Amino acid sequence: SWFASYYANTLGMHISKTYPKVSAMIEAWKKQGGDSETLLSNLEKNQELKNVLLEETPWVLEAKSESEQKQKLATLFDLNRSQHLTNQAVKKLGELQTTAGGWSWFKGFYPNRSITQYILYGFSQLKALKAVEFSDDIQAMQAKAVSYIDGEALHRFEQLKKQNKDWQKLKTIPVSDLEYLYVRSAYNQYPLDSKTKEMADFYTSIVEKNWTQFGLYERSLIVVLMQKDGKQNVVRNMLRSYREHAVLSEEMGMFWANNRAHVFMSQSAVLVHTFIMDAFRVGGAKADELDHMKRWLLKQKQTQMWESTHATIDAVYALLSAGTDWFSADNNTTVTVGGKVIAPQQQAQGTGYFKETWHKSEITPQMGKVKIENSGNAPAWGALYWQYYEDLDKITKTGGSLNVEKMLFVEETDVSGRKLVPITENRMLRVGDKVIVRLTLRTDRDLEFVHLKDMRAAAFEPLEQLSGMKWQEGVIYFQASKDASTNFYFDVLPRGTYVLEYGAFVTRTGDYSNGITTVQCMYAPEFSSHTAGMKVNVR
């Protein structure tokens, strides 16, 4: 966390000096006051568009935390404060560095190789951005840390040779050793001794010959290593392979559908993507290709809070260092609804965010035609909502990037065992039947803060009355049963398809509306859909 503080404040000072209009924009937000919608968490914005009040979800504290972060943005560009915090962080980093040269989690703990490599990696990022001139104290820390990771890597190499007689025939190397080569390549001012160079050359030859054996993340590191070694043919072949497996979308940009790799101390598709971007940048990719990859990054931020410090740091670095300059570009987006250009009375400085509302008497059929024109090179996005009242039984299904389907079954038991029978005209419900509600949830992107609400017929009494954490289909969620609905709250919903089931007993006869099932991303309410209304008959 001390290095994150150093990195954030150093990068903040760099942005303030390089892009003066950014600090001016933040200052303007600050003057608008803490109640300005610009400074609110996305969880708190646009409450009228959401299917449930924020206070009824488990995410009240998350919303408060993000709002506080936005309100503190102005302090990031306070040069005096940032310099003080940077000096404090450097002092703490010096205290946490052990005599062996590595950094530890806490003072007095053993040094940790992964932490040390990550801090050295962060220093190299700041240097590449030309965001800082390192002081003598920091350079001394770097020299000790480089010596430490050299010793640790060499020790592992010697152990490998002792324990594996066929070590010279290896086809792959551990990710930690590949990360060592990657980090070490940024510190060539510290020469390798003969034994360490022998190890580095051996590892490098393995990854050069067998790069197809590695995953997306590992390959991105290998590209950088090969580029620095002048192996242009290998770099071209690896980037060609990346392009062959990439998905190119007008909305989402350029990305990799199987991006589920491990990165340093966490798992994050955003982190892996930023490393791939760096590989393309180093390999000489064109600006428009890098802009497509930056678009995917921003689309992730549209639906995610990015609590991870490492993911946010690397994403900011990628957005600043690759492609065209979106920071200083002037975007002008024009929205035309029903042939009339929208001229917003208030527009957030910097982001250009605005909201326009029409009431019932103002809405005409022509407003179904919407045209959006963006004159800048940076992406822009928005959404149009139509809210109206309708009988539950007459509601038709909607779909989209986030989609939900609902099916009802009766659980029956015979000589062959338990089976689920779809509810049809031939299989009417009876009092005492056990109904299984199956909800199929699909999303084409990673989402955070997703609320799924399944309305129940008045004749259905859920089996599970107590609320609590659940685990199904590889995701964790909070399930809460209420009088007329069962609610599911997902902190994180990765891209994919999920089938959730819960049971209910039929308690009375009659004809009932079973309502609809609605799913919505509370962080980006434009991602929402619902099932069609349906009836159930109990005889």
Q: Give CA separation, 206 vs 164, 167, 225, 233, in Å.
A: 16, 11, 12, 16
Strand arrangement of the beta sheet that strand 402-414 belongs to: 417-422, 402-414, 434-443, 496-506, 460-462
Q: What is the pLDDT of residue 261?
A: 38
pTM over the 0.75 mark: yes
Tell me the mean pLDDT per 10 residues along the chain, length 539: 84 79 71 59 69 65 63 66 84 91 87 92 89 90 96 94 90 94 95 94 96 94 95 96 94 88 54 91 92 91 74 76 75 86 79 83 89 81 82 84 93 87 80 94 91 93 91 88 91 90 93 91 89 88
> Would you tell me how many other CB atoms lie within 10 Å of the CB of residue 135?
12
The one-letter amino acid at 4: A
| Distance separating alpha carbons of residues 177 and 149, to the nearest angstrom | 10
Q: What is the DSSP string of 68-115?
A: HHHHTHHHHT-HHHHHHHHHHHHHHHHHHB-TTS-B-SSTTSPP-HHH
Q: Which residues are registered as beta bridge partners of 505?
A: 434, 461
Q: Residue 342's closest CA among 319, 322, 367?
A: 367
Q: What is the pLDDT of residue 489?
A: 93
- The distance of Cα 412 from the centroid of its chain, to the nearest Å, equals 42
Strands 402-414 and 517-521: unpaired
Q: What is the pLDDT of residue 308?
A: 63
Which tokens hold the place of 149?
Answer: 């990771």
Evaluate whether 532 touches 516 at the Cβ level (below 8 Å).
yes
Q: Which residues are registered as beta bridge partners of 429?
A: 538
DSSP 8-state symbol, 341: E
Q: What is the pLDDT of residue 229?
A: 93
DSSP 8-state symbol, 44: T
Residue with structure tokens 């527009």?
Answer: 347
Element (H, E) at 52: none
Strand arrangement of the beta sheet that strand 517-521 belongs to: 468-472, 475-481, 485-493, 447-455, 517-521, 528-530
DSSP 8-state symbol, 77: T
Q: What is the pLDDT of residue 425?
A: 63
| Distance separating alpha carbons of residues 139 and 329, to the nearest angstrom | 35
Task: Give residues with Cβ within 8 angstroms of 170, minimum separation 6.
Answer: 164, 206
| Distance separating alpha carbons of residues 527 and 223, to the nearest angstrom | 36
| Distance separating alpha carbons of residues 303 and 450, to the nearest angstrom | 10
| Distance separating alpha carbons of residues 488 and 447, to the nearest angstrom | 14
DSSP 8-state symbol, 106: S
Q: Give CA separation, 445 vs 41, 303, 477, in Å.
A: 21, 9, 18
The one-letter amino acid at 217: Y
Q: Residue 411's closest CA among 430, 396, 393?
A: 430
- CA angle centred on 520, ends 71 and 364, rounded to 5°: 95
| Distance separating alpha carbons of residues 294 and 377, to the nearest angstrom | 12
Q: What is the largest CA-CA distance in the chain?
A: 86
CATH topology of domain 392-538: Immunoglobulin-like (2.60.40)
Give the helix, strand, coil percentages of the chain, each rounded to 5.
Answer: 45, 20, 35
The phi, psi pair for 437, rounded to 5°, reads -95, 120
For the chain, the straight-line distance linking the first and the last C-alpha, in angstroms and rounded, comes to 63
Which tokens hold the place of 291?
Answer: 């802009």
